[in-house]
Amino acid sequence: AQSVTQLGSHVSVSEGALVLLRCNYSSSVPPYLFWYVQYPNQGLQLLLKYTSAATLVKGINGFEAEFKKSETSFHLTKPSAHMSDAAEYFCAVSDETSGSRLTFGEGTQLTVNP
Amino acid sequence: GVTQSPTHLIKTRGQQVTLRCSSQSGHNTVSWYQQALGQGPQFIFQYYREEENGRGNFPPRFSGLQFPNDSSELNVNALELDDSALYLCASSFQGSGANVLTFGAGSRLTVL
């Protein structure tokens, strides 16, 4: 079975500060890893994905994440937060045999203060 | 993209509900997720070429259909209070490698 743990259900940063959202996964086979963002009253939008190529993955809106197998982590970062980054962020895991079955974490609510 | 209807609906316990989804053109797989308030989405099931080929930990009263015209349905019978949630439809192209899901905005169901 696969699982995802997102450390910190709420993260608050100042505008212009570093954003770091933590994700640890568990998988018995090589994983595919995803970060999604959800704005209020909207569906999920893909930020970036790791599918066994480069371990540093760049996504949309200036976000990036690094796959660290030894730490079973896939933390999401952005060098400088913008007010528009305020949203809920979800980390998810699947694998080669999962099809469209993603296992999501509980989510992290990001607040950006002016 | 992926469109879902209705956006909001209210039902009473014991009733039945049908939620609809139109997949992104060219996608051959549709999946449904339940997102309870304050939680991450939970996989309900997926359909590939109009057949269910994967189900999460949901009872049989959750059922679905996928049609040849890129549309699909989620049906829930005998509604319970705990079924109140945002229901997300996602479509993808199942080929080699990772399925990248495109999500709709969801249907918010309230069961009273």
Mean pLDDT score across all residues of chain A: 94
> According to the model, what pLDDT value does residue A41 have?
81
A21 confidence band (pLDDT: 50, 70, 90): very high
- Please indicate whether, in this complex, the C-beta atoms of A104 and B97 are within 8 angstroms of each other: no
Contacts for B67 with CB less than 8 Å, ≥ 6 apart: B50
**Which residues on B lie below 8 Å from A107 (Cβ)?**
38-40
User: Do the Cβ atoms of B41 and A44 come within 8 Å?
Assistant: yes
Q: Which has the minimum average pLDDT: A49-53, A70-74, B73-77? A: A49-53
- What gap in Å lies between CA A105 and CA A35, rounded to an integer? 10
**Residues in CB range of B33: below 8 A, 6 or more apart:** B41, B42, B43, B44, B87, B88, B89, B90
Encoded tokens for B106: 């969801």
Contact B94 A105 (CB under 8 A): no
Q: Which residues contact B91 (CB under 8 A, 6 or more apart)?
A: B2, B21, B23, B24, B27, B29, B30, B31, B70, B101, B102
For residue A109, the tally of other CB atoms under 10 A from its CB is: 16
Number of Cβ atoms within 10 Å of the Cβ of B80: 12
Pairwise pLDDT comparison (A20 vs A95), residue with the higher score = A20
Mean pLDDT of A82-108: 93
Mean pLDDT of A14-26: 97
pLDDT at A100 over 90: no
Residues of chain B short of pLDDT 70, as ranges, are 96
Select the residue of B39, B99, B106 nearest A43 (Cβ to Cβ).
B106
Chain B contact probe: residue of A52, A100, A104, A109 with most B CBs at under 10 A: A100
Q: Quote the pLDDT of residue A93.
A: 95
pLDDT, average across residues A26-50 = 92
